[in-house]
Amino acid sequence: MKKRTVIILTLLLTLCCAILTILAMGIILYARSRETLRDLETRDMRQGTASETTEESVDVTVKWDIIEESINEETSEYSLNILYPQITGYTDVKTQTSFNDLVFGEVNSMAKDMKFGESSGGSVKNFLDLDYTVEYKSDRFVSILIAGQIYTGGAHPNPVLLTINYDLDNNSEIKLIDLFKTGSTYLLEISDFTTTSLKDQFEVDFNEDGSSAKAENFTHFTFNQDSLFIIFDAYQVGSYAIGTPKIEIPLSEFSTILKFEFK
């Protein structure tokens, strides 16, 4: 009898231990599962936040390009071979159209002047050849140099210059005065720098009046993030032999008078 009682008690004790062990394991597994769930939720939240941050920091600036267009025409009296730039893919269609119309209008006006001018009357017919370079292109600014030759009679063709500088943010053409603070002595400073440079290059074959401090002397200019370039017409500062001199002026020369957006 006692032996049976001991056996029963032993079995009950073993069963209780097993039940307690199972309960303990269940509690441990439940706790671990809750921790894992919290970890997953925390990771998802972090990933979601990182994803939102990435989306917010993405550069949504629409990329745009400058493409080449042309005017090609040839008759018995003249020939036109003109390459000119046009913007494509810019976000603001109005700004894109304004820039493109400005450029086309300028080169087409030159073409019309040549087409409807007097014939050279010689063995060589009139012609206008133009090409362009993109001197500077940024998110806001475009600076273009269009150059070439025109012939309407005489001993030789003459150089042709056209510069177009544009502020895309304000949808407006940039004139030289727009680079500098109001009331500044920019003409005098440009004149001093270009005159010195031209004298050094051409010595006696130099007309100083062509680089004097007058706005009409600095009609042709381009710029980039570092420099201002002044280009002179043929015969403006010397004989035909010196061509169309281009003088580079570091923008640092105008540190006190240059507008902030061009620094």
Q: Is residue 136 part of a domain?
A: yes
Residues 121, 194 within the same domain:
no
Q: Is residue 67 part of a domain?
A: yes
Tell me: the pLDDT tens digits for 180-215?
A: 999 999 999 999 999 999 999 998 789 999 999 999
Residues 63, 140 within the same domain:
yes
CATH number, domain of 116, equals: 3.30.565.40
Residue 185 is part of which domain span? Answer: 175-263
Instruction: Please state the rounded mean pLDDT for residues 237-248.
Output: 94
Cα distance between residue 20 and residue 55, in whole Å: 52
Residues 29, 4 within the same domain:
yes
Residues 155, 95 within the same domain:
yes
Residues 69, 110 within the same domain:
yes
Q: How many domains does one find in the chain?
A: 3
Pick the last residue of a domain from 162, 196, 216.
162
Residues 103, 38 within the same domain:
no
Instruction: Please state the rounded mean pLDDT for residues 166-177.
Output: 98
Residues 118, 150 within the same domain:
yes
Residues 84, 50 within the same domain:
no
Which residues, including other chains, have CB under 8 Å from residue 143's CB and lie 6 or more apart?
134, 135, 136, 137, 163, 164, 165, 166, 222, 223, 224
Q: Which 3-state string (H, E, C) describes 82-123?
A: EEEEEEECCCCHHHHHHHHHHHHHHHHHHHHHHHCCCCCCCC
Residues 43, 75 within the same domain:
no
Residues 134, 199 within the same domain:
no
Q: Is residue 16 part of a domain?
A: yes
Tell me: the pLDDT tens digits for 90-143?
A: 999 999 999 999 999 999 999 998 888 777 666 788 999 999 999 999 999 999
Q: What does the DSSP assignment read for 2-16?
A: HHHHHHHHHHHHHHH
Q: Which residue has the higher pLDDT, 139 or 50?
A: 139
Q: Is residue 170 part of a domain?
A: no
Cα distance between residue 197 and residue 247, in whole Å: 7
Contact 166, 173 (CB under 8 A): yes
Answering whether pTM is above 0.85, one says no
Pick the last residue of a domain from 56, 71, 96.
56
Q: Is residue 220 part of a domain?
A: yes
CATH number, domain of 229, equals: 3.90.640.20
| Exposed/middle/buried for residue 262 (C-beta within 10 Å: 0-12, 13-18, 19+) | middle
Over 60: is that where the pLDDT of 44 sits?
A: no
Q: Which residues, in sequence order, are bridge partners of residue 183?
A: none
Q: Which residue has the higher pLDDT, 171 or 153?
A: 171
181 token code pair: 């603070």
Residue 92: which of 168, 174, 173, 172 has the closest Cα? Answer: 168
Residues 230, 260 within the same domain:
yes
- Write the CA distances from 60 to 21, 93, 96, integer angstroms: 60, 17, 18
pLDDT band at 9 (very low <50, low <70, confident <90, very high): low
Contact 150, 128 (CB under 8 A): yes
Residues 205, 240 within the same domain:
yes
Q: Is residue 110 part of a domain?
A: yes
Pick the last residue of a domain from 56, 75, 98.
56
Q: Is residue 169 part of a domain?
A: no
Over 60: is that where the pLDDT of 42 sits?
A: no
Q: Is residue 44 part of a domain?
A: yes
Run of H or E residues at 80: strand 78-88
Q: 31-40, 56-65, 133-142 — which is least confidently predicted? A: 31-40
